[in-house]
Amino acid sequence: MAKFRSGLLSLRDLLATAWPIILVTGIGFAIAYQFVQPAPPRHLTITTGSENGAYYPFAKRYAEILARSGVTLEVKTSSGSIENLQRIRKGEADVGFVQGGSLLPPDSGDENLPLSLGSVYYEPVWVFYRGAQAVSRLHQLDGKRIAVGAEGSGIRGLAVQLLEANEMQLNGKHILPIAGLDAAEALQQGTIDAAFIIAAPEAPVVQVLLRSPGVHVMSFSQSEAYARRFPFLTKIVLPHGAVDLVRDTPPRDTAMLATTANLIVRDDLHPALASLLLQAASEVHGKSGFFQKAGEFPAYRDHSYELSPDAERHYKSGTPFLQRYLPFWIAVLVERLFVMLLPLFALLLPLLRIAPAIYTWRVRSKIFRCYGDLKFLENDLRQHYDPTCRAEYLARLDRIEEEANTRNIPLAFTDLLYTLREHINFVRHKLRSLDAVAKQEPAK
């Protein structure tokens, strides 16, 4: 029974020592939890453009890549870049393709502005025209019928900016909402004089127009000036014969402008999903092409929208370390656990190192309280001994001894208890000596 009580009291000392450590560590966990991102969702929505546009097949490839990591990417078609931006801002989509230079209307506000994950490829700006006279400046098309794409499309937004920069008339008679193959057909039939097309060289509409008799592609003589004036534009060159070596198409080097296709996301997109999207972009767009080198994309080229902090980290450090070697969801779980376990290493381990000292101090303090009473009694005897108070002195000593005897001390510290008892006997012996001296003095 005594052994059980001793073990119980020892456990009580351990618990009394441990609770401050548990409390501090718990506070550390609570603080760390504030910095732990929730688990990423398993479903994303991407907004593209029409099913006949370039963005839609790219989005389908993204969906296949993300599916390998257990993330479903829902693809939604739209009328173009402006609608994509509005969807992202309203929370109707998580990510979207947006043509460089496309901006939200001025009255859309500054809250929930989308962020950029970067540009993923060049989008050449083709200006096709009819006529025998060569056109190298947009101003030469003033007063002509020009197809600029549908309202809300990225093509129309860019074409209007370039035409306005050339102080050209932008009324309904001259600016026509025709795009794609419809624009190519109208240009072939002569119902329009020029058309803005933004598409890759391999696109059917480009291939059709490059091979159409009487239709020419404009070479921008002021391409450098446009690139300086519009930061989202880049000068590119379509080399002589690059489209068709046999037919020598184009017949000369053609200076062109290119915007970029950009991945725009909501400002609250989960960091792990931002990294996953950038990995998909590298896989889809990282190869060489007509106008880009291998590994040139994705990159932050169009500064119309602020770069996402997660994308900035990706460009600096690459794919997160754990995602390079572990499946996506396991890597995410380990990253979250690491943040939660940080207090264990930062707080718990140092506290455990001092826990034995705290425990020892708690046990010894029980003995030291008795020593305090004993020392006070000894000083009283030495400085203010009164023979008439002998019974009181003995009673005080008995109380100290009784308190020492009832102290439940772990076995490892019983030497302190026996030493205390020896010191109590020492003071008791000193009291007897003082009594003997006091009895001898009257006899003298």
Inter-residue contact 56 to 77 (CB < 8 Å):
yes
Of the candidates 239, 236, 199, 196, the residue with the CA atom closest to the CA atom of residue 220: 236
Inter-residue contact 87 to 47 (CB < 8 Å):
yes
Least confident of 140-149, 174-183, 392-401: 392-401
What kind and span of H or E run contains 292? none
Of the candidates 234, 215, 212, the residue with the CA atom closest to the CA atom of residue 223: 234
Distance between CA atoms of residues 37 and 66, nearest Å: 20
pLDDT of residue 426: 87
Domains and their CATH numbers in the chain = 2-25+341-443 (no CATH), 43-319 (3.40.190.10)
* 3 state DSSP class of 53: coil
* 3 state DSSP class of 255: strand
Radius of gyration of the chain (CA): 42
At 431, the pLDDT band (50, 70, 90 cuts) reads confident
192-209: pLDDT as tens digits:
999 999 988 878 888 899
Of the candidates 133, 240, 128, the residue with the CA atom closest to the CA atom of residue 181: 128
330-389: pLDDT as tens digits:
888 787 777 666 666 666 677 667 777 777 777 788 788 888 888 888 888 888 888 888
Of the candidates 64, 6, 24, the residue with the CA atom closest to the CA atom of residue 351: 24
HSE (side-chain half, CA atoms, 13 Å) at 249: 16
